[in-house]
Amino acid sequence: MSRMAIRFTSSDCAALLEELRARSPLVQSITNAVVTNFTANVLLAIGAAPAMVDIPEEAGQFASVASGVLINLGTPGQGQEAAMQEAVQAANAARTPWVLDPVAIGSLTVRTKLAHQLAAHRPSIIRGNASEILALAGVGSGGRGVDSTEDPISALEAATQLSASTGSAVAVSGPVDLLVGQDGRTVSVANGHSLLTRVTGGGCALGAVMAAFASLTDDSFLAATAATGAYTIAAEQAATQAQGPGSFAVGFLDRLATITPEDIITTLNLRPVNAPGNAR
């Protein structure tokens, strides 16, 4: 079989960025304590509105009125775990798109069990590194804490199976990001910079940006790809003037605020990828 057509272009990704800034979607982030501030600043910089509502009783109420929801398992305390379950049920009832980020699952039992429970509720997008995606698909034991010990291409088959079983778009982050759609479309985004891995929240905040983009379209695969493109191009731009991780983090927020649709049209390195079983 030949490669499945992506069915969208860099111009479509650019149009979503323009729409995001016009609509300023409200993104509820139930995320880990380490990255809360950075995630909120990233959402503000790109043009969305953050809300870090993560306590039981309120989480479900807010998910029903939010534009999109992020569920990040970085530091899942008992209260936050209950809030996550509540928010996911409310989001599904309200048809609010939500993103699952299964941080550091595999060898850690509490978050691994929780990730599988949440994935059964069919998130719009699942975003993680290769080790996390392999673990969620049941074919890996996790990475080194929050760091992956695998490269994205090694998780392609697992991501494809996970997308088919959950109905979710699956985004595998790495030096080259892989994205898998529910219908078998698979693309790579070869933008970004290694300095993103040296800033706390560099990966986690991308999940929140995906939730913002997912609120703008019914095509969660397009949303995940557009979010990844805008995010990684901003990282490339910031890295050109950074002297290290500190100046990069500041410059990255500035670039998220100033990246233009034209930047995405001209810079996004978007390529179709043969999904498992399609390469002949």
pLDDT tens figures, 196-208: 999 999 999 999 9
- pLDDT tens readout for residues 49-85: 999 999 999 999 999 999 999 999 999 888 999 999 9
pTM listed for this prediction: 0.93
Sign of the C-alpha dihedral computed for residues 223, 225, 228 and 233 taken in this order: negative
Give the model's pLDDT for residue 276.
Answer: 60
Classify residue 277 as exposed, middle or buried by CB count within 10 Å of its CB (0-12, 13-18, 19+).
Answer: exposed
- pLDDT tens readout for residues 145-194: 444 456 778 899 999 999 999 999 999 999 999 999 988 899 999 999 99
Q: Residue ranges of the domains in the chain?
A: 10-272
In sequence order, the 6+-apart residues with CB closer than 8 A to the CB of 230 are 13, 17, 46, 209, 256, 259, 264
Give the model's pLDDT for residue 142.
Answer: 54
Q: Which fold has domain 10-272?
A: UDP-N-acetylmuramoyl-L-alanine:D-glutamate ligase (3.40.1190)
Give the model's pLDDT for residue 150.
Answer: 66
CA distance 12 to 218: 13
Whether 101 has a pLDDT exceeding 80, the answer reads yes
114 close to 30: Cβ distance less than 8 angstroms = no
Average pLDDT for residues 218-230, to the nearest whole number? Answer: 98
CA distances, 239 to each of 222, 246, 249, 260 (Å)? 26, 11, 9, 17
CA distances, 189 to each of 24, 44, 227, 269, 274 (Å)? 25, 23, 11, 6, 14
CA distance 152 to 34: 24
Give the model's pLDDT for residue 242.
Answer: 98
Average pLDDT for residues 121-142, to the nearest whole number? Answer: 89
